[in-house]
Structure 1
Amino acid sequence: MKRFVLVTGASGAIGKAISIKLASSGYSLYLHYDRNQKEMDALLREIDSFGGEYIPIKANFVSKTGYLELVDQIFSIDAIVHNAGNALYGLLEDLEEEEAEALIRLHVTTPLLLTKKLVPKLRQKQNGNIVIVSSVWGQTGASYEVAYSTVKGAQLAFAKALSKELAPSKIRVNAVAPGAIQTPLMEKFSEEELDAIAAEIPSGRLGTPEEVANGVEFLLSEKSSYITGQVLAINGGWLT
């Protein structure tokens, strides 16, 4: 029997790594994306050989009703990976109201409402699973990323609270909190700045999207069957 997982933000670096890992592990996938059609097409070509069913779904999660475009295309589902997101760097004093609203809708409101719509389908499986891709900044906070830290912290609270509510329905809810990961988001930093970040990390390097994907796959698997409401830090020992 096919096991279907929804991966939001599947066309980004971490979302792509998660999708490849899950496809290689035998999952069929609903692959959410918004604007990056080229990367989605490349992802579909890359995972085609794994033999699952892979359904791309385009939806704008910043739009107030964007998540409904996705819900209407999902039928059987075993798990959700909430990965869609983007960073926002700058002083709080410079934050525009429209930026704050978009950030909150993308990282908090949309995952909340999307989950609300899909929980009945997860409950039917009597073995559902939700994993939220948050951030180390949701755990510790970061200057110049106050708004981003705020929404990522809200995601962790969401995971912990929802895990208690859904445990009686045999639905587990966990989160991963990546640290500094080698993605295009890090390209705003110079080579010297990246070297300085790596020097702060006990493991001496940035992580990879594949290492985040390994953590997500573990939390979706039966190997973590008694784990719920937890945050898996994937950060090389940084800021623990």
Structure 2
Amino acid sequence: MDDLLGLEGRVVVVSGAGGGGIGTTVTAMAARAGATVIAVSRSKENLDEHVAPLAQQGLAVVPVAADASTDEGIAAVIERARRADGSLYGLVNVAGGAEPSTWMPSTRVTRGDWRKIFTDNLETAFFMSQAVAAELVAQQRPGSIVSISSISGMNTAPFHIAYGTAKAAIAAMTRTMALELAMSGIRVNAVAPGVTETAASRTYVDEDPDRDRQAIAMGRRGRPEEQAGAILFLLSDLSSYITGQTLLVDGGLDLKWSHLGADNTSLFLKDESFRAAIRRML
């Protein structure tokens, strides 16, 4: 019972580990559960700020500054994982997201906007998953891959079409890879967060407790550790008979989605012009 999660002596790669939100939190939790974590971020500064302190606490965390959207970056991550203590077992795809500047009507989305969102949120997750899966198959080892989708990929996402579509594709990718890899002992799942309190979300999400209470069944936003807990569950042996699933972790926002009125529109956007446009659609 000491190693209930089954992560002792295993190596887990976390992309998007340096932002101080979900990726950093799951890095810390996996390391505390006994894993050696390869913590990947494009930004060395972010790694120094958020991940290096975990290593200083004695946790088995290895910061790697690499761009997981490139073949060279992925190759560097896999090479570092090979040299880590323990055997490669898991991958958590957190890298992605969408800058507030990408929120726009569908009629204004450019090919450049579309490609950037898909590169950051879908291509990076797929090619990281491909690389880790290939390594596990070559070593004939079991493993677990968990990607981050979004409630925006499971419901309508006005003014967020590229992001919502990319996150919906994560769910499709998850199911197909799960079927292909099941007989190799590799499970593939995803978590779809709802509104979660992170530094990134505060740039575009209103601070409005009254709206939270009205729109979210549990009456509050999620915390990074709650998303990380769901990720760790799917990564670990506790979910050993689960594959191909996308777990919605949203405090019940989805339960009330179709009942939201005009004052609770588009995931609590700060931008009043978007709110006004959505009200006209309702």
Please give the TM-score of this superposition, normalised by the length of structure 2.
0.78
| Preserved CA contact (<8 Å) 2:178 2:188 | yes
Q: 2:133 aligns with which of 115, 119, 123?
A: 119
Aligned to 1:67: 74
| Preserved CA contact (<8 Å) 2:178 2:189 | yes
CA-atom RMSD in angstroms? 2.0
Task: State the shift of 1:36 in Å.
Answer: 5.3
Task: State the shift of 1:118 in Å.
Answer: 2.1
Aligned length: 238
Q: 1:24 aligns with which of 17, 25, 32?
A: 32
Q: 1:152 aligns with which of 151, 167, 174?
A: 167
**One-letter amino acid of the structure 1 residue matched with residue 164 of structure 2:** S
**Matches of 1:48 and 1:166 in 2, distance apart?**
36
- The DSSP-based 3-state class of the residue aligned with 1:182 is coil
| Preserved CA contact (<8 Å) 2:74 2:131 | no
Question: Gaps spanning 5+ residues in structure 2: where?
Answer: 1-7, 256-282
Greater Rg, structure 1 or structure 2? Answer: 2
Aligned to 1:89: 103
Would you say 1:190 and 2:210 are equivalent positions?
no
User: Percent same amino acid among aligned pairs?
Assistant: 30
Task: State the shift of 1:73 in Å.
Answer: 3.0
**Matches of 2:13 and 2:228 in 1, distance apart?**
14
Task: State the shift of 1:65 in Å.
Answer: 5.0
**One-letter amino acid of the structure 1 residue matched with residue 176 of structure 2:** A
Please give the TM-score of this superposition, normalised by the length of structure 1.
0.91
**Matches of 1:4 and 1:19 in 2, distance apart?**
11
Task: State the shift of 1:184 in Å.
Answer: 1.9
Q: 1:15 aligns with which of 8, 23, 35?
A: 23
**Matches of 2:206 and 2:223 in 1, distance apart?**
18
**Matches of 2:128 and 2:66 in 1, distance apart?**
12
**One-letter amino acid of the structure 2 residue matched with residue 108 of structure 1:** L
Deviations 1:162-197 (A, max 9, x none): 1011000000111111100001232223324x6424
